[in-house]
Structure 1
Amino acid sequence: MKRALKIGKVFNTKIEIHWTFLLLIAYVAWSTYNAGGNLNEIVLQIAFVLSIFVCVILHELGHVRAAYHFGIPTKKVTLLPIGGVAQIERMPEKPKEELIVAIAGPLVNVAIALILFIVFPITDMYNAAYAENSTSISYTTFPLYLFSANVVLFLFNLIPAFPMDGGRILRSILAMKMSRMKATKIASITGQCFAVIFFVLGLMNNPFFALIAVFIFFGARSENYTVQSQELLNGYEVQDAMMTNYLVLSPEETIDSAIRKMVSGPDIDLLVIEDNKVQGIVTREKLISKSKERNSYEILVRDIMSKNFRVLEEHNKLSDTYLMLQRTKNRLFPVLRNKELAGVINLEKIQHFIMMKAKGFQY
C-alpha cells in the first residue's frame, strides 16, 4: 500500500504519485466510455483530471515553501486519489507562522485562478456554456472548468475541518488567544463534526465524500492526541523516559544465542555492544528471517546487524524525540551520556510515559 512513483524533487522534497492514483485515472476513462464518450472525450477528461492534480501539487508546494521559509523541511509530497499530502516535518508552534504555512496552499489556487481569469476569456466561456446549458468539457471550455476547479479547491480547503488547511487556520487564530492545546481541541472537535456531515452527505449522494469524511475524522483525532501528548512531554528530557535495563548482544554471538536472549525478555530489537560502544542494532524480523536459513548456527550477529542507526543525547527534548520517532522506521535508539551509553528509548516507552503523565503520575 505504500508503493509510490517518484516523479521529481522540489525544495529537497520528493514528489510522488501513489499507485492508487492510477485507479482514479482508470475510473475516469471507464466512466467516460460508459457514458458514450469517444476516445477524444476520454483523453480530454483524463487531461482535465491530471490538470487538477497538477494544481493540487502546486497547492502542496505552497505549504512546503512556506514551511521551508521557517526552516522546517518536508520529506515528500504524495499524490493520492483524494488529493495531495505534504509530509511536513512539523507545523510551526507559533500561531502566526502556522497561519502562513496553512494559508499558503489555498493562496496558490487563488493565484492559478487569477492567472486563468486574466489570460483566458473566462466570462465569455461561462456565458456560452450557460446559454448552451452545457456541462461537458471541451477544448474551448477547458480553462473555464480549470478556473472553477481552483476556486472550489480554495473554498473547500478553507472549511474549518481539522486537519485540513481551514482547520489549521482556525487553530492558529484560536492559538493567538488561548493555549495551543485548547485551540487544537476546539479545531479537532470542529473537524470531526464536519466529518460526520460529510459522511452523511457521502452516503446519500457521493461515496467520495464519505471517504474524505473518514480521512478528516481520524486525522483530526490523531492531531489532537499528538498535540496533547507533546504538551505532556514539555519540560522533560530523553533521560526521563529512557530504559536503563535492556538486553545487549556481542558482535561475535551467534543468532541462535541472540534469539534465546530476545525470547527471554521484552525487547523487540537488541543493541550490539563492544567495549561499551554501540556497534549496531539487530531487529526481531532480521533474526527470525536468518534463523530459517540452513547455516543459521554459523551466522554471527555482526553479519546481520544494522549500522544505520541514530544516537540520541540524554538532554534532548522528549517532545521533539517523540515526533522524530513517529516519523522514522527505526524503533530503538541508544542514548548517550558524556559519549557513553546510558540507556535506550523507543516509541512504546514514550507512549507509556505519556499515559502515566495523563493519569497524574509525577516523574
Structure 2
Amino acid sequence: MRTFLKSMAAGLMLAAAAVVAPAQAADEPTVGVVVPTLDAQFWNSYVDFMKKGAGELGVELVVLNADNKPDQMIKSLEDLVAQGVDGIIFTPYWATAVPGLTLANQSNIPVILTDTYADFAPQTEQFPNYLAFIGPSDRDAGKQMAEALFAALEPAADGKKYIAVVNGTAGTSVAIDRRAGLQDALDAHPEVVVVGEVDGNFVRDTSQTVFESLWQGNPNVQGVWAANGGTATGVMAAITGAGKVPGKDIIVVGMDLNPENIDAVEAGSLLFDIGGHWLQGGFALVTMYDHLNGHKVPAEKANIKLELLPLTQDRVAQFKADFPGGVPVYDFKAHSQTYNKDAESAVFEMKYSK
C-alpha cells in the first residue's frame, strides 16, 4: 500500500517531542546491510544516513558492497548470516529476494528489503522473517520525469518529439516501475517517439558509453529520459564530450537528488530531478531496531512506498533552504518506538516548506 507520511513540520515536531531511554533496548544489536554498488553516489548517501542512525540508536552496522554483481550479493548475504547478525537490510537486485530471505530465514534472522521489492508481500507464511519493504513510488516518479521532459521539447518539423531512454539495471523492480511510469506518459502523448533504449545499469560510466552509441545512430534525439542520477550524469557527460550543451541542445531528466544533479538542475543542465528515497535506508534501520526491541511491524504498514520530492530550477533555492546539504532534519530516536512511545512511523515525507 502507499503510505502517506507526516509533513516536514510534523517531523520536526516529533523530533522535539520528549524522548526517553528505552526500557529494554537490545544491547547494541548488529544489523547487516548489503547495497548493490558503492560506485553510485545514491548508495553512498543511503549508507551515510544509515551510519548516522546507527550512531544515534546504538547499532553496530556491517555494510557490504555487492559491487554490481549478483553472485557477490548472495555471497554478502551468506557472510552476514555466518556472522550471526541480528537483522539484515538489503536491496534485492538480480532476483536475490528469495535466496536472501531463505538464507536469513534458516537462521531466524529478520529482513527488511529496500528500494527493490519482491514478487510477494512481506510477512507471508513462507517468509515470516520478511518484516517490511521500504522504497520509492517509482512508477509515479518515472511518469513525472517524462511529463516534464515532454513539456520542455519543441516539436520537430514533422510535429514529433524524439527522445532516447537510458534505463537502469534490467529486471529490477526499480527499473521496471520507472519505465512503466514513462510508458504511462508515452501513452498519453502520441507525438513523442522513442528512437532507442539502452540499459545504463544505474551507473555513470556505463550510461555514458551506451548513450553515446545510441546517439550516434540517432542524431535526431532532442531529449533523454535517464533512469537515475548516475545515469543522467553519464548522459550529460556524453553530451558535453560531443561539444553540445545539456539543457540546451539536448534536454535531460533524471532521478535521485544526488548533490551533483542538484547542481546540474541549478545550472540548467538537468531539467528535472526527483528523489529523497535514499532516506529509505535510515527508515529501515529504525524499523529493524524497533523490531529487535519488541515492536512488531503491523502487516498493514509493512509495504511502504515513499512519495518523492521533485526539483526544478525555480525550486533550487527553496530546496537548499529547507534541506541544507540536501539532508532533512531527522531525529532517529524521536522516530523510534523504542525511545518514543508516541512515535507513529519511522518514515516521513520530504516536502517544501512553501
Shorter-chain TM-score: what band? under 0.3
The structure with higher relative contact order (CA 8 Å, sep 6+) is 2
Normalised by the size of structure 1, how large is the TM-score?
Answer: 0.22
**Greater Rg, structure 1 or structure 2?**
1
Q: TM-score, normalised by structure 2?
A: 0.22
Of Structure 1 and Structure 2, the greater helix share is in 1
